[in-house]
């Protein structure tokens, strides 16, 4: 069964706007990772946040983690057409990564 679940399933925004997606998970984790998948391609790692961290930044990406609520959020600021993709959270537990079903983000020009 899936460990992480993303919300919303799909998101459509205008170029330049921010995109926020959430991930909830069920069991304790070592870390939480976000991956991006462009249409027809493999997944690419974006950012990792460890269980003892609350916030992490990388370029236009900001990730938060709330272990008490078992949830994480990914914020993409100033979105671009190239950000159109599916985004997956993945939780690490006992050295295995479990993925959610993903959020599909469409950035309109």
Partner 1 sequence: NAGVTQTPKFQVLKTGQSMTLQCAQDMNHEYMSWYRQDPGMGLRLIHYSVGAGITDQGEVPNGYNVSRSTTEDFPLRLLSAAPSQTSVYFCASRPGDPSGANVLTFGAGSRLTVL
Q: Which residues are near partner 1 by CB under 8 A?
A: 1-2, 4, 30-31, 33, 35, 40-45, 48, 88, 92, 95-102
Q: How far is the CB of 48 from partner 1 (least distance, A)?
A: 6
Phi (first) and psi of residue 83, to 5 degrees? -80, -10
Neighbours of 43 (CB within 10 A): 18
Q: Which is nearer to partner 1, 17 or 55 (CB)?
A: 55
Q: Which is nearer to partner 1, 76 or 90 (CB)?
A: 90
């Amino acid at each position: 069964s899936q460990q992480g679940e993303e919300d919303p399933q799909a998101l459509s925004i205008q170029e330049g706007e921010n995109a926020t997606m959430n991930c909830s998970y069920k069991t304790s984790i070592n870390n939480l990772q976000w991956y991006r998948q462009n249409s027809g391609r493999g997944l690419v790692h974006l950012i990792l946040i460890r269980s003892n961290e609350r916030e992490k930044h990388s370029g236009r990406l900001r990730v938060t983690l709330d272990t008490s609520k078992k949830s994480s959020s990914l914020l993409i600021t100033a979105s671009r057409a190239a950000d159109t993709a599916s985004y997956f959270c993945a939780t690490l537990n006992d050295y295995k990564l479990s993925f959610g079903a993903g959020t599909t983000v469409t950035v309109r020009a």
